[in-house]
């Protein structure tokens, strides 16, 4: 009976774990999510699979929360207008502009910080330019990352662009890219780190014209799961506030995923960027991310880990930097596995209690399993260990006699 019970627990763990891994956070079949308001009007489109509790901030800074989902349609309630001026450091922005205009050579010589760039989804590509939406290990997204890095370097910012591959394109890619992010943080100690992706929606969702050139907009993605969710949220709002000032219309919006973390617990300035969609020309994505690079000096000059406006618009602690350190440990997915294992153990204990009727008998059965069935499983090794111990004891006794 005990053997069957533990076999069932192990099988249950495998099934639940497999199911959890199989649940992708993004649509990979050409579908996308349309978020509609109370009147049924579309307010936001994204390739992410939306769930109740997720939130979005639109390009016009209107915030919505998803309350229910029917297929690819997510119904949301309007939360309110967000005053992003509370997140914008005007003095710092002016300082950056003055340094660029009056002392560009000095600014470049002094350096403007260090930024790390990587790609969790190595395959993501742009159909009009790359021919298809997915190219394993060599997606067009790397070209977009190159444009981002080169533009940052032209502004005096040291940019490290990782070429690490994390295929295949599944949820476990974030576990694989976690090692890349940790290595970048440990060896490079960047001031900010960006995971650059592309979205999967119709082309008009991202295509815009800024300063007379066609470019792809940028979407920010925030994982709300985990201890640093609020800290990363404030950081994203600071980024959009700066972008709205420098290049209005460049940031499409912010997607707040209630159940994601996307390795953003590793660094207080960690952000996931979606640059255009697979339906956009890659050239427009490269131009869009180059404009986004204009915003980076401003956000690097503002501390996102000390104090800043909170969700209500007042000033308060945004979270200690330590929470966003490489010592953050396990990712959200790994922590979820721990919870599942814990629940299975508790469930097994409850089953023992209900089947025996008393804690005493349950404990006796558990003890029997540990001392007999489990010991028999390790029997050969245990006997070998006991024989070794007896041999050692006999040798010591012979030495004493001498």
What CATH number corresponds to the domain at position 309? 3.40.630.40
Residue 50 has pLDDT above 80, yes or no: yes
Domain count, the chain: 1
Q: Cβ atoms within 10 A of the Cβ of 48, count?
A: 22
State the Cα torsion 155-160-161-165 to the nearest 10°.
Answer: -170
Average pLDDT of span 228-252: 96
Instruction: Kindly state whether residue 164 falls inside one of the protein's structural domains.
Output: yes
Which of the two residues, 382 and 252, has the higher pLDDT score? 252
Query: What is the extent of the structural domain holding 298?
Result: 83-329
Question: Model pTM?
Answer: 0.71
Least confident of 198-212, 256-270, 291-305: 291-305
Is 136 part of a structural domain of the chain? yes
pLDDT recorded at residue 368: 57
Both structure tokens of 239: 């980024």
Express each pLDDT in 12-48 by its tens digit: 444 444 333 333 377 666 799 999 999 999 999 999 9
Better pLDDT: 158 or 109: 158
Helices (H), 127-228: 127-130, 141-154, 173-188
Calculate mean pLDDT across residues 314-331. Answer: 37
Domain-located, residue 119 = yes
- What's the length of the chain? 402
Report d(CA 356, CA 121) in Å as an integer. 50
For residue 373, give the DSSP letter: I
pLDDT of residue 171: 81
DSSP string, 76-122: EEEEEE--GGGG--HHHHHHHHHHHHH-HHHHHHH---EEEEE-S-T
For residue 385, being part of any structural domain is answered with no
φ and ψ at residue 45, rounded to 5 degrees: -125, 135
Q: What's the whole-number mean pLDDT along residues 238-254?
A: 97
pLDDT at residue 154, rounded to an integer: 96
By the 8 A CB rule, do 315 and 164 touch? no
Average pLDDT of span 175-182: 97
Residue 293 in domain: yes
Per-residue model confidence (pLDDT) at position 378: 43
Q: Looking at residue 351, what is its pLDDT? A: 54
Does residue 274 contact residue 232 with C-beta atoms inside 8 Å? no
Residue 361 has a pLDDT of 61
For residue 42, what are its two tokens? Answer: 């579309």
Rounded to an integer, the average pLDDT of 349-364 is: 56
pLDDT at 386: 46
Give me the pLDDT at residue 98, please. Answer: 46
Which residues lie across from 271 on neighbouring strands? 194
Q: At 345, is the pLDDT very low, low, confident or very high (cuts 50, 70, 90)?
A: low
Place of tokens 């099934």: 15
Mean pLDDT of the chain: 77
| Element (DSSP H or E) covering residue 232 | helix 229-246
In a domain, 78, yes or no: no
Higher pLDDT, 94 or 255: 255
> Out of 24-33, 96-105, 323-332, which region has the weakest mean confidence (pLDDT)?
323-332
Across the range 156-171, mean pLDDT stands at 95
Give the residue-averaged pLDDT of 206-223. 97
In this structure, the number of other CB atoms found within 10 A of the CB of residue 41 comes to 7
Dump pLDDT digits (tens) for 249-297.
999 999 999 999 999 999 999 999 999 999 999 999 999 999 999 999 9
DSSP-assigned beta bridge partners for residue 118: 195
When pLDDT is cut at 50, 70 and 90, the band that residue 394 belongs to is: very low
In a domain, residue 386? The reply is: no
Instruction: Please check whether residue 201 lies inside any domain of the structure.
Output: yes
**For the CA atoms of 91, 297, 205, 26, what is the dihedral angle to 10 degrees?**
-120
- The band of 317, judged by pLDDT with boundaries at 50, 70 and 90, is very low
């Amino acid at each position: 009976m005990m053997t069957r019970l533990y076999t069932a627990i192990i099988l249950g763990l495998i099934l639940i774990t497999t199911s959890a891994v199989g649940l992708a956070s993004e649509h990979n079949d050409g579908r996308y999510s349309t978020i509609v308001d109370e009147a049924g009007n579309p307010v936001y489109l994204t390739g992410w699979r939306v769930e109740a509790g997720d939130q979005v901030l639109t390009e016009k800074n209107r915030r919505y929360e998803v309350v229910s989902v029917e297929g690819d349609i997510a119904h949301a309630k309007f939360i309110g207008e967000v005053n992003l001026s509370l997140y914008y450091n005007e003095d710092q922005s002016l300082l950056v502009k003055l340094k660029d205009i009056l002392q560009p050579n000095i600014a470049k010589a002094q350096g403007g910080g260090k930024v790390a760039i990587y790609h969790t989804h190595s395959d993501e590509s742009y159909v009009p330019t790359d021919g298809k939406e997915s190219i394993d290990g060599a997606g067009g997204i790397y070209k977009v990352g190159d444009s981002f890095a080169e533009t940052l370097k032209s502004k005096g910012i040291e940019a490290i662009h990782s070429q690490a591959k994390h295929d295949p394109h599944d949820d476990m890619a974030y576990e694989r890219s976690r090692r890349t992010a940790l290595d970048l943080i440990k060896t490079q100690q960047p001031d900010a780190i960006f995971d650059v992706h592309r979205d999967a929606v119709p082309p008009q969702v991202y295509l815009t014209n800024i300063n007379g050139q066609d470019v792809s907009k940028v979407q920010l993605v925030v994982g709300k799961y985990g201890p640093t969710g609020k800290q990363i949220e404030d950081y994203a709002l600071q980024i959009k506030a700066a972008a709205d000032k420098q290049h209005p219309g460049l940031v499409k919006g912010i997607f707040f995923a209630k159940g994601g973390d996307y390795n953003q617990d590793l660094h207080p300035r960690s952000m996931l960027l979606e640059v255009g969609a697979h339906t956009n020309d890659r050239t427009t994505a490269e131009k869009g991310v180059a404009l986004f690079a204009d915003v980076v000096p401003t956000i690097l000059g503002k501390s996102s880990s000390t104090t800043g406006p909170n969700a209500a618009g007042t000033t308060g602690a945004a979270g200690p930097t330590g929470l966003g350190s490489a010592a953050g440990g396990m990712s959200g997915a790994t922590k979820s596995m721990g919870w599942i294992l814990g629940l299975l153990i508790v469930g097994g204990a409850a089953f023992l209690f209900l089947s025996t009727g008393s804690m005493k008998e349950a404990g006796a059965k558990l003890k029997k399993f540990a001392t007999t069935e489990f010991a028999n499983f390790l029997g050969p090794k245990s006997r070998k260990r006991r024989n070794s111990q007896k041999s050692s004891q006999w040798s010591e006794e012979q030495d004493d006699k001498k």
